Structure formats: C-alpha cells, structure tokens
Structure 1
C-alpha cells in the first residue's frame, strides 16, 4: 500500500470495518503530523524493534476477547417486549464493543464500564451515548429516530 493510501486509511478509517478514523479532522485524536509519523513508522520501522520497545514500555495490548452469542438465547431475548431491539443490540455489542468494554460491560484498560448505575439509570444518558458514540473510538453515531437509538434496559 502506498503512503498516501495508508495515510488516508488511518486518517479516515475504513467504512463497514472496525477501523476507526484517527485523523483529528475526522473526529479522531491524531494530528496530520502524527498520522504522517505513524505512516513512516509502519512503512519503514523494523517491527521487531517496535515490538520490543512497546513491550519494554508495558504498552502491549491485552488479547482482544471475542464474544459468541447462543442462538437459543437470542431467540429468547427476541421474544421479550421490544426484544428485537435488545437482540440486535446484543449482536452489535458482541461484534463491536466487547473487545474494549468487556463481555459484561465491566470496562477494561481501553474503555470505561457501561454497566454502571450512572449510565444504566438514565434513559437520557443511554440515548446520548447511542446517538453520539460516547468516547468510544470504534463507536459511530446512529441516526436519530432509528431503532438503535431507542434506549433499552439491559438485563443485570
């Protein structure tokens, strides 16, 4: 991949993938210079040296957990009042959120807990997070009025 394509991928993300936009102009946290530095490092740095340095700094990320959902459980959830919304939310969470927020929403070193009383106790707050994507780098805002934006209380 050439440097400009790599720069645009980091800066803008990739639609329909877990690759978030990291460029500040796209809502990310990296300046243009930081993105260019990252591109240079990706294309030119010896990766064994990078891995050794990251490990020495204690910055090696934990393995990303994967969540699988039991079809029978999803069927039970879908049978609840407004269960289709909750079942859809569970699938979205398993595919996009569990790696950072944890399997039970307990939070990790990467992202805050979502199962807190503060968050779960306020429909307005849930609606805010659904619409705005909160502070999650992978989260994307959902269109107002969509089924995904309706607040739903998750089971304890």
Structure 2
C-alpha cells in the first residue's frame, strides 16, 4: 500500500509545473512601507525536455499588499529559453503543454509558460502569458530553441 501511495505521489509531482529559481532582482519603485516594486529574473528547467533552461523576467508589486501577497502583479513578462546541454525528451510532447505556472494575484490571475514543438523546423517554442478567471491579457512573449547537436568534449 505504501508503494502505491508513494508511486501516486511521484506521478502527481512529475505532472506538476516546476518552481522557478530566483536569479536576481532590481527595484523599480521605492515603497516607504513594505517591499519595493521590483523586476524579478527567475530560471526554471523544462521538466519534460532535458537540456533546456528558461529565464523569465516579470514585475512584482511591493508595498503592504505586495508584502502580504495580496497585490496583483502586472501581466508583462519576458522569456528567453536556451539549450544548456544535449536535448532529450521525456516521452511524447503535447503542444501547448504547461511547463511553468505562478500565481500573480491572490486568487484570479496566473502567469504561465507553455511549450510547442515545431516539428517542421525542429524547434521548441515557449510562450509566456498571463490569464485571469474572467478576462486574460493579450500581452505575451515568445522564444524559440532550434534543436541542435550538442558538442561533446574531446
């Protein structure tokens, strides 16, 4: 029974989007009370494609509401994904598969990254966008990685 529960937890964890690692931040607006407004640069590895790391920059609202996690962050984001090693797929890739998701307001708004595979050009395409339960935002950013052979060390 423990084995079944353990495997179920492992499968659930494998299907969830990954968490990002904070690379750095810069302050954009000074706040007298609470943290400053800032731009955060984060990195995450694609959980289904070994050898790909994505870098995401986005705004985080500060102040009292931001410090308590009650503020709504802006929808703008920038993304750059790069090949950082030999690319290997973990199973069949689904177009539009979510690879990263983070809440950007208390309840209704999220920022997410989805992946597409352009088979004709042998290229991975990543799209970042923000959505809201009632109304999304057309603001988005895209990056593409041509799948190239990775040089081996002599």
For CA contacts below 8 A with separation 6 or more, give which structure has more relative contact order. 2
TM-score normalised by L of structure 2: 0.23
Whichever structure has more strand as a proportion of its residues is 2
Whichever structure has more helix as a proportion of its residues is 1
